[in-house]
């Protein structure tokens, strides 16, 4: 029987129900963290932990009393054991939502949390065989503010952009901010390679503060610079790739009429796989 972790206790998933007054459901007053696990170990957990900690501050939520790095790592590991996922790769999601009460103005700042898990097919990161075919989504724009970097449960822009992508036979689409800079894809952070230098949009442009983005930018093995990226920057790049913790890095084969390579993406995938053995 599949289990979830609710506020530190393990219960059958089928026995768990959200209140109709749940603020995450009614107002999107919640945020989540998606974590890739390998052989029972959450990968890049320190980066995930500190991103969650900053999310409490931005959303003006009280931090749970048991919000400790070691405690939450063990909660994840024990859940994987409960669901017999500790000997393979798995996807874990932690969702924090403010307690019921109030309308737009909440009556409380305290939160509850749920941890759930599911298996992943691949034991490591793989380079996509075919480059992604991508377009540019222009109907709605990302706001350049601190809320944009959050993994909030309100992902309407990503949802309608993903629908647009499918309707136009793309694998994914790139999103723009109000300044018409290219910020990210619906599925992850954006990187563009020019003359061996890797560029990625700054957080201030409105992109998600992605964990893989953090890991890559902090590593001196790669020459990564933050820079606002225009459409021409993308068109003229030698290589474009997208990152997230589940897929690692995916190379883009084509955006409109521009074609791209995959050399740097191969290096990134190999680097990320080296962390599976740590």
Of the chain, the end-to-end C-alpha distance in Å amounts to 31
Range of the domain at 13: 3-119
Three-state SS for 39?
coil
What tens-digit pLDDT sequence spans the chain (278 residues)?
899 999 999 999 999 998 999 999 999 999 999 999 999 999 999 999 999 999 999 999 999 989 999 999 999 999 999 999 999 999 999 999 999 999 999 999 999 999 999 999 998 999 999 999 999 999 999 998 888 888 999 999 999 999 999 999 999 999 999 999 999 999 999 999 999 899 999 999 999 999 999 999 999 888 899 999 999 999 999 999 999 999 999 999 999 899 999 999 999 999 999 876 65
Return d(Cα 4, Cα 80) in angstroms, integer.
10
CB-CB contact of 262 with 270 (8 Å): no
CATH number at residue 179: 3.20.10.10
The answer to whether residues 10 and 78 belong to one domain is yes
- Location of structure tokens 């970097």: 149
Domain end position, chosen among 87, 119, 151: 119
Shared domain for 272 and 141, answered yes or no, is yes
Whether residue 45 sits in one domain with residue 169: no
Predicted pLDDT at 10: 97
Q: What is the pTM of this model?
A: 0.93
Which residues have a Cβ under 8 Å from the Cβ of 84 and sit 6 or more positions away?
A: none
Please tell me whether residues 145 and 206 are part of one structural domain: yes
If asked whether residues 218 and 140 sit together in one domain, one would say yes
In a domain, 213, yes or no: yes
Q: Is residue 140 part of a domain?
A: yes
Q: Tokens 């954006």 belong to which residue?
A: 190
Same domain? 156 vs 114: no
Give yes or no: residues 141 and 61 share one domain: no
Asked if 187 and 262 sit in the same domain, the reply is yes
Q: Do 108 and 146 share a domain, yes or no?
A: no
Is 167 found in the same domain as 34? Answer: no
Predicted confidence at residue 146, as pLDDT, reads: 86
CATH number, residue 87: 3.30.470.10
Note whether 144 and 206 are within 8 A (CB): yes
| Measured distance CA(217)–CA(63) in Å, rounded | 27
For residue 88, give both structure tokens. 């393979």
Query: Does 224 map to a domain?
Result: yes
Pull the structure tokens for residue 2. Answer: 């599949």
127 within some domain:
no
The residue with tokens 């793989």 is 126
pLDDT at 221: 86
Identify whether residues 82 and 42 lie together within a single domain: yes
Look at the chain and report how many structural domains it folds into: 2
In a domain, residue 126? The reply is no
**Final residue belonging to a domain, choices 74, 96, 119:** 119
* pLDDT value of residue 278: 53
Does 143 fall in a domain? yes
- Give, as one character, the DSSP assignment of residue 106: B
Same domain, residue pair 53 and 165: no
**Burial code of 13-26, b = ≥16 C-beta within 10 A, e = fewer?**
eeeeeeeeebbbee
Show which of 119, 154, 184 is a domain's final residue: 119
Q: Residues near 272 by Cβ (< 8 Å), separated by ≥ 6?
A: 125, 212, 215, 248, 249
Tell me phi and psi for residue 263, to 5 degrees: -60, -50
Q: Are 157 and 176 in contact (CB under 8 A)?
A: no
124 lies in some domain: no
In a domain, 158, yes or no: yes
């Amino acid at each position: 029987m599949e289990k979830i972790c609710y506020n530190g206790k393990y219960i059958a998933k089928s026995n768990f129900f959200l209140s109709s007054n749940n603020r995450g459901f009614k107002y999107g007053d919640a945020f989540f963290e998606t974590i890739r696990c390998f052989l029972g170990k959450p990968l890049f957990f320190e980066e995930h932990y500190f991103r969650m900690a900053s999310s409490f501050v931005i959303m003006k939520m009280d931090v749970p009393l048991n919000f400790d790095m070691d405690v939450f790592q063990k909660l994840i590991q024990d859940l994987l054991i409960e669901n017999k996922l500790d000997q393979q790769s798995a996807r874990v999601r932690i969702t924090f939502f403010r307690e019921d009460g109030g309308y737009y103005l909440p009556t409380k700042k305290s939160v509850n949390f749920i941890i759930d898990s599911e298996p992943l097919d691949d034991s490591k990161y793989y380079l996509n065989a075919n480059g992604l075919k991508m377009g540019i989504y222009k109907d709605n724009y990302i706001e350049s503010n601190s809320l944009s970097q959050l993994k909030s449960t309100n992902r309407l822009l990503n949802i309608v952009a993903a629908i647009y992508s499918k309707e136009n036979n793309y694998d994914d689409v790139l999103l723009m901010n109000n300044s018409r800079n290219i910020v990210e894809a619906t599925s992850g952070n954006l990187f563009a390679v020019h003359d061996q230098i890797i560029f990625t949009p700054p957080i201030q442009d409105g992109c998600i503060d992605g964990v893989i983005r953090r890991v890559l930018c902090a590593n001196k093995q790669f020459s990564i610079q933050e820079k606002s990226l225009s459409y021409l920057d993308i068109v003229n790049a030698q290589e474009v790739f997208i990152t997230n913790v589940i897929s690692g890095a995916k190379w883009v084969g084509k955006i409109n009429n521009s074609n791209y390579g995959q050399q740097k993406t191969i290096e990134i995938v190999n680097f990320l796989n080296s962390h599976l053995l740590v």
